[in-house]
Chains A and B, each alone.
Chain A
Amino acid sequence: MPFIPHTRADVSEMLASIGVSHVEELFSEIPESIERADLFAIPLGISEMEMLRVLSNRARQDELGPCFIGAGCYDHHIPAAVWDLASRGEFLTPYTPYQAEASQGTLQLLYEFQTMMSSLTGMDVANASVYDGGSGLAEAILMAIRCNRNTKSKRVVICGAVNPFYLRAARTLVGSQGVELVHCEHVGGRHAVGLDDFGEVAAVVVQQPNFFGLLENVDEITDWAASKKALLIAVVNPMTLAVLKPPGDWGEGGADICCGDGQPLGVPMSSGGPSFGFLCTRIKYVRQMPGRIVGRTTDSGGSTGYTLTLQAREQHIRRAKATSNICTNQGLLVTAATIYLSIIGLTGLSNVASASHANTRYVVDKLCASGLVSPTFDGSYFHECAINLHRDAQGVFDELTTKHKILAGFPLGEAFDGLESSLLVCATEKRSQEELDFFCRTLLEVLN
């Protein structure tokens, strides 16, 4: 019997102890009127070997060549040690560290994670994760509305080039709380400050680098939000913060809340999940931040230790008045990210960032030099860039996928009207020189 250790003798002894003659009697409190389950349509169980044969075949079916899509999920190298360590049973199979004395490993790791994320974003504090970038944005929006005591407005301005997949999820998640999300049009791929009058605004959301890979004038946008007494929510890619200006330093006063997806930090793409979302903020807003938070303290013997803290914000204590309903988070991915950041280190992460930028730039320059392709937008970009193929980008993308097994980028027409001829390309540090050249050559062949 898979995963059940009972011998026949065990079962007889246990039934005798309980005083029943058959296991079925233990279910006697289930009313007769409820029909018994019929699982006949589910196949019989198979061994691990057989299961792996079936699923390996399916996995192999989905293997492809090099990936040049980013759009919120990135193909970076993950040091071998990261998942060797994260897959240890001691990290893989514990519950949430509510029993602190039995969970010091996870708790200290989370404290280190909070430290790394706070420093990367230039914020005071970080939580121990939410589900992903999309739900992170939703939580950041709700949090900003709670924090902003200058206004009762629930209007939130979203800059035009915020990740449309995050925005779509956030709309679902905050939709029934009377929040009004005002999505601006981007102007040339960026947010244009001060074009509209939005009235009273609780928060402004800007992404850096934005969905098109472009660098927004975040200092100006931050100051503008502050002048409107709105909180500034920064959506960021933590990998890029090894070299880009952290949200805490934007403008005069810095961002108020920072969120994003931690996938670039040692988490495989895995069809987009599981990854993890993160939230960082100023200390004065910490009690409005949802999700678990670890604090350092001492034990009764005076030794340094760690424990979950500020739990009175959370659903298991505050129930209907909790900051969020979040319970389970993405702990294992945070474990991997913390180990990733430790192994890749300060120099490593900076070089991942600069190499990804340089690789993308190489591809864009080479393609544009052909005259067949041009940048969709002007201005500085980081490690993604929208390129105009001057024809239906979806068709080109499909041809490259089916004929050459190359994922050439994200056809922007899927998410933005008017950008049907543009492809959003990304070449991370993982792409070799051969792959970069092969990509350019093949794309240009298709265009020719």
Chain B
Amino acid sequence: MTDETQISAEAVRALATAAALPLDPQRAEDLAERLSGWLTGANELSEKMSAPEHLQRQPTATFTHPDPELSE
């Protein structure tokens, strides 16, 4: 499992700058704590999906056929 991702208000401001998203200092503080939790989960998922057994897996969001055998 990855370590908890700690996002500071300063890091939030840097990410917002990268996204050209205006953000006042108080909003950056408010976002930091919640974003830390969400990005911890996202990074755990990234670690899982980076495992060698998943290397060939492609994103798929739709079904093309009602038979599960043929939908893959």
Q: Do A and B come from one complex?
A: no
